[in-house]
A and B are shown apart, each in its own frame.
Chain A
Amino acid sequence: MIVILAIDALEYNLVDRFNCTHLMQKNYGKTDISEFSEPRTMVLWSSFMTGKNLEDEILAKGDKEMWETHIDHARTFFSHFTSPAVIDLPGYNYDIMEHKREREILKHFFDVKTPEEKEQVKKEYNDRAFAFHRKIKDEFLSALRENHDLVLGYFSIADVIGHLNFGNTTLMKMIYRDLDEIAGSIPAPYIVLSDHGMEPIGMFGDHSRYGFWSSSEQDLGNPKITMFFDTMISGISSGSFKGDRS
């Protein structure tokens, strides 16, 4: 079994600062996403799973339709596995309605005027994000106990909460610690990957122009996000993902 912990907006500098050793593993670094015009979640994950830069293809769908992208299974490296479990990955099988609602509430936050209204919207936003995070976490931990040759869990909490709360370091630290615990509970070799990081804009957070990767096996240097396609395929060919459940 090989596990991929796909974390939206996991920020390299915070992983390091909060000393999240399970997220860091033996080898970790930044990914190179400079080939993309903007660090867009849908573009980056779609490119990750297909091994091709799909920026033009995704952007051609337009701002709204882009979020409903569904990449065909046969185009992804998941199709090379016998029994993959992919949980909530954008562009593949993520919960479109849930993530759409999150974006709507986020927009609403910036639309309302008074501090009281903003606080109320923020609470709804945070509560919803945490509830969804717990659900995904349960699904991911269950999948780890099942008989899959690939488990990929996509966690959006760092991105969703970060957009409105990046300046609340207590909150961000506790989220990173939780993600670190999730990584620590993986009973097989795993890769941690983020599409992009996050940089502060006052109390808020915006996408940074690099992602995060870590691996217990190899030092990947400064990889492109499309490179992981070949990494996974060669892992299957070499048999390095077999019999390693501990």
Chain B
Amino acid sequence: MDRIDRTMDDLPLKLVITGHVDHGKSTLIGRLLFDTGSLPDDKITEIRQICSALGKEFEFGYILDNLEEERDQGITIDTTQIFFSSKKRHYVIIDAPGHVEFIKNMITGASQADTAVIIIDAEEGIREQTKRHAFILGMLGIKKVIVLINKMDRVGYDQERFTSVKNAYLDFLNEIGLHAIQSIPISASNGDNVATGSSHISWYQGPTFLEALDSFEVPNSLKNAPLRFAVQDIYNFSKRIIAGKVVSGTLRQGDTVTVLPSGEKTQVRSLEEYLRNPDSAETGKCIGVMTTDKKFCDRGYIFSDPRDTPAITQQFRANIFWMDKISCKKGQQIIFRCSTQEANGKITAIHTVINSSTLELMGSDVDEIKNREVAQVTIRTDRPVIIEPHTKTPELGRFVLVTDNVSAGGIITEVLL
């Protein structure tokens, strides 16, 4: 796939930082915000003064504490995101207070991360949570991570210790299909290799953490991906206007498109907006379409690039996050909603179930998913639906399941034909 670097004009790169408790996540975030000048001076001064009054060194972790407190008081408007910028691009750290919120946000699409950072204490080494986090990241569709071996100052900046922790962890990542694009020795509290290099770690020749982020290549923007236009409604006035949203690719006047699920082809006569007729509409745009003929079309239909069409199927595998107090039973009737499509269906198999709080494996091939559990399942719908793996077209790979309420969110991992 072609890849490009985002620029300052683009959306911020979303990253999530995970790691075992006390391995330095808060300190790292505080240090990043401080070193990139992303915080008001008076906040730093206040925290510095309190540290001094308590007879302590300035601790960067308190910066994050301060943000969390502001968030609790409603001062910070956004509830889960921390923004900072390098000279090259904008970033947002998706900050979820716990496993449950993190998994729920990721799987329901509330805050999809572009990349993940796993932080490990050099002294303490790999802990159970360090492994569980990686496992769950893989399950959520993240395949590339940056590994930070933190607190190098506590081990005398020892290269052997770094190599030993790094190699052990890379072996584990390899086992679960994750790829570390960088492994960096850092000291978040001292600032070594976070935003600036380190004279203490001269044996390390690679990028700093911020340089690694700046050079992180994200998948090419969806606007260059194959066209997917989700039909929302049909308006018959003096002319027929098909209203919908471009969920992938770019829709242009004159394009020939395949109408799914019928498979018929039609051509775009014009794009319709209030008082204007644009030539094209990119991903994310809601727009009206007139076609050259009146092939049947309804809500839930998808216009697709004829050279690359999504699957039409009744069966797929998915990872779901169950968020209903009433457990889900295997075989139970559910309503599947994906983009503008809706179909009845049932969960025909529950392959594995994981507790989203402890990340413990609760069982394999079981009959029930309880509240706040994450499960790998197979779902079968009563009629064909147009879907794709989440990694290809997020909007056609992301869904909710409805019983009496919205009971689960999920991502499609494999389309079964």
Contact = CB atoms under 8 A, between A and B. Distances in A.
B218 to A, nearest CB: 34
A169 interface: yes
Contacts of A126: 53
B24 to A, nearest CB: 15
A178 B69 contact: no
A125 B44 CA distance: 22
A70 interface: no
B46 interface: yes
Interface in A155-181: 169-171, 173-175, 177-178
Interface in B52-84: 53-56, 62, 65-66, 69, 72-73
A57 interface: no
Interface string B11-51: 00000000000000000000000000000000000110011
A117 interface: no
A178 B54 contact: yes
A174 B55 contact: no
B72 A130 contact: no
A131 to B, nearest CB: 8
B55 A134 contact: yes
B357 to A, nearest CB: 15
A98 interface: no
A175 B69 CA distance: 14
A170 B62 contact: yes
Chain B interface, DSSP helix/strand/loop, else mixed: helix
Which interface residue of A127, A174, A177 has the most chain B CB atoms within 10 A? A174
Nearest to B56: A178
A175 B56 CA distance: 11
Nearest to B63: A170
B414 to A, nearest CB: 39
A173 B54 contact: no
A174 B54 contact: yes
A171 B50 contact: yes
Nearest to A17: B72
A170 B47 contact: yes
A170 B53 contact: no
A133 B50 CA distance: 13
Interface in A162-215: 169-171, 173-175, 177-178
Contact of B69 (A130, A133, A173): A173
Chain A interface, DSSP helix/strand/loop, else mixed: helix
Contacts of B50: 170-171, 174
B50 to A, nearest CB: 5
Interface in A86-145: 126-127, 130, 133-134, 137
Interface residues on B, range: 10 to 19
Contacts of B55: 134, 137
Contacts of A173: 65, 69
A170 B62 CA distance: 8
Contacts of B73: 169
Contacts of A170: 46-47, 50, 62, 65-66, 69
Contacts of B56: 178
Contacts of A130: 53-54
Nearest to B67: A170
Nearest to A137: B55
Contacts of B66: 170
A154 to B, nearest CB: 18
B54 A169 contact: no
A75 B56 CA distance: 38
Interface in B227-256: none
B75 to A, nearest CB: 10
Contacts of B72: 169
Which interface residue of A127, A133, A170, A171 has the most chain B CB atoms within 10 A? A170
A8 to B, nearest CB: 17
A182 to B, nearest CB: 11
Contacts of A174: 47, 50-51, 54, 62, 65
Contacts of A171: 50
B23 to A, nearest CB: 15
B263 to A, nearest CB: 56
Contacts of B69: 169-170, 173
A169 B69 CA distance: 6
Nearest to A123: B49
Nearest to A18: B65
B56 to A, nearest CB: 7
Given A170-B46, A174-B54, A178-B54, 15 more contacts: A127-B53, A130-B53, A133-B54, A134-B54, A134-B55, A170-B47, A170-B50, A170-B62, A170-B66, A173-B65, A174-B47, A174-B51, A174-B65, A175-B54, A177-B65
Interface of B: 46-47, 50-51, 53-56, 62, 65-66, 69, 72-73
28 contacts: A130-B53, A130-B54, A133-B54, A134-B54, A134-B55, A137-B55, A169-B69, A169-B72, A169-B73, A170-B46, A170-B47, A170-B50, A170-B62, A170-B66, A170-B69, A171-B50, A173-B65, A173-B69, A174-B47, A174-B50, A174-B51, A174-B54, A174-B62, A174-B65, A175-B54, A177-B65, A178-B54, A178-B56
Interface of A: 126-127, 130, 133-134, 137, 169-171, 173-175, 177-178
Considering the complex of A and B, which 10 residue pairs feature the smallest CB-CB distances, nearest first? A130-B53, A169-B69, A170-B66, A134-B55, A174-B50, A178-B54, A170-B69, A173-B65, A171-B50, A174-B62
